[in-house]
Amino acid sequence: MESLGSARFLRHHSGSVRGVAFSPTDRYLFCSGAYDGNVCLYHALRCELIRSFHVTTMGLARNVNAVRFTNDGRRILAATTARRLSVLDVETGQQLMCYDNCAFNGRERAALATDPACPHLAVCSCVNGKGLTFFDLRMPLPLDFIFDLHPDVIRDITFLHNSWPFVKSTHQQAVLSVSAQGIVKATAVDGRFLHCFEVGHASNTVALTPEEYGSALDDGFSSVMMVGGASISSYVPESGIQERQCLPDFGKQQIWKLRYSSNGSLLYAAGDGGVIRRYRRYPNYHKCLGELFRHKGDVQDMDISPYDEFLVTASKDKTVGLICLGAPNHGWTQYCELS
């Protein structure tokens, strides 16, 4: 396996960093949001800060607990503890619009996702954290509210590809949400309930294998939903829970974020204790390959660049972690002179 670079820790926030996200259209551009009310924009290759945006006013309060890019890379969404979702222009840093009284105001990382196929659709956990708020970013008000979808706080949300069996018949986008109790629900944008399962342990994050559902069966691989928390569990719609990995080395600590590489061969896990680990995906299980690096504080969020070159993390130690994973997945891009 290709050797990794050394982790760098960027210190441009004065508060706990709650969210990080890579731009889907720029291979090196990523952002972070923290408990100082700022959203910072970085260049991964140069490992430097480009600019910083102040999202909230001094009188409003306060802290950013989730950030995401829209799929066209032109806007950044920032959820704050003031129950506000702000929409920022990437080029200028100006606030294009904001939605009040619609976002989770708890002290932990908020659940926020943008549609990978449409630049106007987004979803976040609502004010009490137990429901969903959908947004069409062309509209001045939220698109729809789904109240009390879960009995506990929603920890993570992701959009579902329409190839998954319980989404095919809806003819609209659907999202997958996981609660702290380990209940995972698939819900259509219009509020229709599509599917539900439980993993049997406290949960904080859900990640889907990136290929279209069923497309990897010829190679013996199943498309799975990975749920992380007190354990890591994989779920296959036809057969239920396929795998469960306990984390004895984590003790009572938990996984807060799972992310697959773009081809689904590697799974990265981040959580309490600041530890980042990676796993190799096999047809019926995942094998831990070891630790990448660690922060001094718990890691709340994590993302991977579009071509799998860089991994970025958000930590409670007020730093943003950045590590080079290797050459881009489309091939080697450096040049040399032959003689």
What ranges do the domains of the chain cover? 8-324
- For 172, which DSSP code? S
Percent of the chain topping pLDDT 70: 92
338 against 100, higher pLDDT:
100
Q: Which CATH code is given to the segment(s) 8-324?
A: 2.130.10.10
**Contacts with 176 (C-beta within 8 Å, 6 or more apart), sequence order:** 157, 158, 159, 160, 184, 185, 186, 206, 208, 225
- Contacts of the segment 41-48: beta carbons below 8 A, 24+ positions apart: 41/76, 41/90, 41/93, 42/10, 42/320, 42/322, 44/305, 44/309, 44/310, 44/312, 44/322, 47/8, 47/10, 47/322
Q: What does the pLDDT read at residue 21?
A: 98
pLDDT tens digit sequence for 166-186:
888 777 889 999 999 999 999
pLDDT tens digit sequence for 203-214:
999 999 999 998
| Spatial separation of the C-alpha atoms in residues 183 and 291, rounded to whole Å | 28
What are residue 249's phi and psi, to 5 degrees?
Answer: -75, -15
Model confidence band, residue 331 (pLDDT cutoffs 50, 70, 90): low
pLDDT tens digit sequence for 248-258:
554 567 899 99
Q: Look over the chain and give the mean of its residue pLDDT values, rounded to a whole number.
A: 90
Task: Identify which of 290, 177, 191, 181 has the alpha carbon closest to the alpha carbon of residue 230.
Answer: 181
Contact of 9 with 295, CB cutoff 8 Å: yes
Task: Identify which of 169, 168, 186 has the alpha carbon closest to the alpha carbon of residue 177.
Answer: 186
Model confidence band, residue 1 (pLDDT cutoffs 50, 70, 90): very low
Question: Average of pLDDT values for 258-265?
Answer: 94
pLDDT tens digit sequence for 275-306:
999 999 998 899 999 999 999 999 999 999 99
Contact of 119 with 70, CB cutoff 8 Å: yes
